[in-house]
């Protein structure tokens, strides 16, 4: 069962056509170059994780309900995220700025050439237009209109990404229970994720969200607003070919606010939903779950 879930989640993740792992690519950059190189991937991860946190705005005030499910989230990258301004470092002279690929950019890379003919090479990226991951979850409630959700996943995905470990926990509370005459459902929640990519990236992802919705027979229509924050620490050894140095940089994801619009369908114990999230990083989310 566990191996089956891991296989499914690995298929849902992107398969990049590159030869080096993410941590090996990042280690070729120093300081601010490393920040600019990996930031789109950090932003994409965070935006994906803050998706699929709910499939309805309705939360029972009391009574036991449990669901287990999986969400597939796909972040779509823009052309601007595929490149950044990199600066030559080390003993290369004179210092030059070059438009270089980010981790999701052109696999051909870029280079700078000194007046003496010395070439400084910036490695290419994975040529990714989107980034998809699958995340399992377990939700239980309700106590006074409150439910809790747990997410966990750890596996070696492929040669490019290496090992991914993920832990997430959050809670939602029914706001509409305090306004019984309202014709719509209102809820609010908070969620926290921590994920690691190989041995080089550790990220903390936060989300505060509020949603409204309406249940119509077997269908739920919902929309939401969220504030999100995503901060990662990247630690690696930079090798310039002449010397090595330990590097530690803080990377902040660009995802801040998002709007969500979605629809869900309920068939007794089987539930499906689809929503689209608009923000600094747009995300399409699809979910399937079983439970009461």
Q: According to the model, what pLDDT value does residue 204 have?
A: 97
Spatial distance between the Cα atoms of 192 and 204, rounded to a whole number of angstroms = 7
Spatial distance between the Cα atoms of 15 and 5, rounded to a whole number of angstroms = 17
In this prediction, the residues of the chain whose per-residue pLDDT falls under 50 are 1-20
Q: If you average pLDDT over every residue of the chain, what do you get?
A: 87
pLDDT tens digits, 201-232: 899 999 999 999 999 999 999 999 999 999 99
Spatial distance between the Cα atoms of 43 and 66, rounded to a whole number of angstroms = 31
Q: According to the model, what pLDDT value does residue 92 have?
A: 85
| Residue boundaries of the structural domains of the chain | 2-291
pLDDT tens digits, 130-180: 988 899 999 999 999 999 999 998 877 666 567 889 999 999 999 999 999
Q: According to the model, what pLDDT value does residue 20 have?
A: 46
């Amino acid at each position: 069962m566990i191996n089956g879930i891991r296989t499914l989640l690995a298929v849902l993740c992107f398969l990049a056509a590159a030869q080096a792992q993410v941590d090996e690519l990042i280690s070729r950059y120093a300081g601010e170059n490393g920040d600019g190189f990996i930031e789109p991937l950090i932003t994409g991860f965070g935006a994906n994780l803050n998706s699929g946190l709910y499939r309805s705005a309705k939360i029972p005030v009391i009574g036991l309900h449990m669901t287990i499910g999986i969400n597939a989230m796909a972040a779509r990258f823009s052309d601007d995220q595929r490149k950044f301004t990199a600066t030559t470092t080390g003993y290369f002279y004179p210092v030059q700025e070059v438009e270089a690929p980010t981790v999701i950019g052109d696999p051909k890379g870029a280079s700078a050439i000194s007046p003496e003919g010395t070439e400084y090479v910036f490695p290419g990226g994975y040529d990714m237009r989107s980034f998809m991951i699958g995340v399992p979850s377990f939700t239980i409630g309700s106590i006074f209109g409150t439910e809790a959700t747990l997410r966990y996943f750890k596996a070696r995905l492929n040669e490019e990404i290496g090992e991914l470990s993920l832990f997430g926990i959050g809670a939602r509370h029914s706001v509409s229970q305090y306004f019984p005459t309202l014709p719509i459902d209102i809820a609010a929640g908070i969620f926290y994720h921590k994920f690691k990519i190989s041995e080089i990236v550790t990220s903390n992802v936060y989300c505060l969200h509020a949603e409204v919705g309406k249940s119509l027979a077997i269908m739920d229509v919902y929309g939401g607003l969220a504030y999100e924050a995503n901060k990662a620490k990247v630690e690696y050894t930079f090798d310039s070919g002449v010397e090595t140095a330990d590097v530690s940089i803080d990377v902040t994801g660009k995802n801040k606010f998002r709007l969500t619009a979605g629809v869900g369908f309920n068939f007794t114990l089987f539930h499906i939903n689809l929503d689209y999230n608009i923000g600094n990083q747009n995300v399409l989310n699809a979910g399937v779950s079983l439970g009461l």
